[in-house]
Structure 1
Amino acid sequence: MMRPVFTAAFVLMASNASAQEQPVTTNSVLNASPMEEVVVGFGASTLGANIETAYRINPNYRVRGILMGGIDADFEETDEDGDFSGNVTLGGVAIMGDFYPLQSGWRVSGGLLFSNTELSGTGTADVEGVATSVDADVAAQFSGDITPMLTTGYDLGLGGGWSLNTEAGVIFTGGIDVTFTAEDPALQAELDNDPELQEIVEDASEIPVYPYASVTVSFRF
């Protein structure tokens, strides 16, 4: 008489154990499954037009490449230091790592910018103590060709795989190198010793960051 009772109890216990273990197994499979996806985006930034591509490794981490550029503008500058005209080029390539701490649309990103940003021009510089203006070339660029970037952003899902992405942060330039050069060594010495021109060089070298902001529309495959 006791055997059927023990048999029924064993079956009931085994059934309960199976029911308790099943959700754990299912959850572990879901957690182990990577959230792999490829994203391609187009937009604009403070360094020009943007083309982005990203690969999401899991819900928390993503790697991203950005090609920036397209701004190639002429300029003319006239002030008490002289008259200059030339060209400004903005752009570069960035490799970023995106971290989603809340597994939501908000992210914190860091990476490296391979800069192609530069200014070059020619004109005349008014040098203190020299009666006539000095013909000179001027050039400016980030101190480092490879500079760190730190940003934060948000990805707003629009449905159907589309999203609107905003991002803001800074590029750690390490300063901006500005140089004034003349062909004549004697005139070069005058440029190097002119207090107003050297103040421009010094002030630019103390600019630690360049602001970065972008708006991108992306599609997730």
Structure 2
Amino acid sequence: MKLLLRMLAIPTLLLAGPALADDDLAYDRFFLTPNVSTLGAGVEAGYRINRQWQVRAGINGGALNFVYKDKDSALHSRATLLNGGVTVDYFPFENDFYLSGGIRLSANKIEGRVKNLHGKLKNGSNVFVPDPLTSYTVRQNALQPYIGAGYSVKIKERVSLNFDLGLLYAGTPDVDVNSRAHTLGFARKDISSEIERARDRLAPFKVYPVATVGLKFEF
């Protein structure tokens, strides 16, 4: 009897082999991830290829008003975010931690005005101008490489909470300035100094931090 059971078990195991291999098909699925990020609100669509790899593409956007105050002026600004890209994730361990690399296209920009300006006229006298005489637009590099890491926490069978942390290399921001301050008696060197101060404030943003939280739905 035992011999008969063993003989019956052999074809059963042989049939089970492909089925066990097909368990990897659990990774052969698409997913959609709405998210919020330092890049704005967005959504990603992706495909989990196998245990080690997945690929995703997404778009983010948003807008924010803010004021940067300085002793000589206040920069009233509006940041407009619009960017999208492709990311490849690698799972090095037998868990849901992954390393990421990718590329994004950016149309992010900051538009603003210099208000409450304290300066000097050409005759040397000090002056205060509450209304803006100078406007500017700041743009990042259009093409930005991305590196990062993330972790996925299962909520239910096909729903997960995703966390991503990474960095975008945005390059040196480009500042386009339109000023009519010189027509009202401001020295051009003071205008140039104000522009350079604006460049210095933006210099740290060559590398842009990315933090993202999303809800992943698998199909």
- Aligned-residue sequence identity (percent) comes to 22
Aligned length: 203
Which residue is 1:208 aligned to?
A: 206
Matched, 1:164 2:142: no
Which residue is 1:193 aligned to?
A: 192
The structure with the largest alpha-carbon Rg is 1
Which residue is 2:99 aligned to?
A: 108
For 2:46, the aligned partner's letter is: A
Indicate the SS of the match to 1:102.
coil
TM-score by length of 1: 0.75
- Checking the alignment, whether the CA contact within 8 Å between 1:154 and 1:167 is kept in structure 2 is yes
Which residue is 1:95 aligned to?
A: 86
Distance 1:185 1:28, change over 3 A: farther
- Checking the alignment, whether the CA contact within 8 Å between 1:182 and 1:188 is kept in structure 2 is no
- Checking the alignment, whether the CA contact within 8 Å between 1:41 and 1:216 is kept in structure 2 is yes
Gaps of 5+ in 1: 1-15
Q: Once structures 1 and 2 are overlaid, which stretch shifts more, 126-135 or 36-45? A: 126-135
Q: Once structures 1 and 2 are overlaid, which stretch shifts more, 202-211 or 182-191? A: 182-191
Give the deviation of 1:122 after TM superposition.
1.9
Which residue is 1:10 aligned to?
A: none
Indicate the SS of the match to 2:133.
strand
Which residue is 1:46 aligned to?
A: 38
Which residue is 1:152 aligned to?
A: 149
Aligned equivalents of 2:110, 2:32: Cα separation in 1: 30
Which of residues 1, 13, 28 is equivalent to 1:36?
A: 28
Q: Deviations over 1:24-82 (max 9, x none)?
A: x937982896531001111211111121111111211111012111x212333442232
Q: How does 1:4-83 map to 2 (within 5 A)?
A: 26=17, 30=21, 35-69=27-61, 71-83=62-74
Q: Deviations over 1:75-96 (max 9, x none)?
A: 3344223233232112311210
Aligned equivalents of 1:53, 1:42: Cα separation in 2: 9
For 1:114, the aligned partner's letter is: L
Distance 1:120 1:166, change over 3 A: same
Aligned equivalents of 1:209, 1:216: Cα separation in 2: 22
Distance 1:173 1:99, change over 3 A: same
Give the deviation of 1:111 after TM superposition.
0.5
For 2:165, the aligned partner's letter is: A
Indicate the SS of the match to 1:101.
coil
Distance 1:150 1:188, change over 3 A: farther
Gaps of 5+ in 2: 1-6
Matched, 1:140 2:131: no
Distance 1:162 1:31, change over 3 A: closer
Q: Deviations over 1:134-183 (max 9, x none)?
A: 711122232x1110111100111112311011110111111333343314
Distance 1:122 1:199, change over 3 A: closer
For 1:116, the aligned partner's letter is: A
**RMSD (Å) for aligned C-alpha atoms:** 3.5
